[in-house]
Structure 1
Amino acid sequence: MEKEICRISIATSWLADEYTFYEDHRIKRIYDHHSLNSNNVEWLKPEQISKQNKDKLVKNCPEEHKEEIMQILDYP
């Protein structure tokens, strides 16, 4: 497996929503639908992530990884 760049959470106060970015540009999302359906995993391509979520990811991204994450997300 490729090396992880960083993890970014855009969770609400009660539902998890975390994205893990890898050097090979893969994106893993772990999220909760609701309290009884948690820790769902999906692998995403940048075009599958909404503009709203891309905004949140870039905003919450650690500064040292922001440029690389913006490139992976093709943001803006």
Structure 2
Amino acid sequence: MMRKLCLLPAFLILFSCEEISDITRVKGPCTIELVDGRTISTANDIEILESTGTVTYRDEDGKLWSLSEAEYTSYTCGN
């Protein structure tokens, strides 16, 4: 009985981690339209942090970049 009680907190932590992660991955290639009218194109996937609207992507050199919700107007992904 005591062993089962010890496992309960571990299960609760594992199941709650899903709630912590609010990242949505969108398969590329993607085009991100910036508020100033420019566009950014990436052949890779992008990730959106749902709580803040931040878009994260990798450029052609593999460098990681993030755009806040105030820096872009929209994004489109897919072939």
TM tier, smaller:
0.3 to 0.5
TM-score, normalized by length of structure 2? 0.39
Would you tell me which structure has more strand in proportion to its own residues? 2
Higher radius of gyration, 1 or 2: 2
Structure with the bigger RCO (C-alpha within 8 Å, sep 6+) is: 2
TM-score calculated relative to the size of structure 1 = 0.40
Higher percent of residues as helix: 1
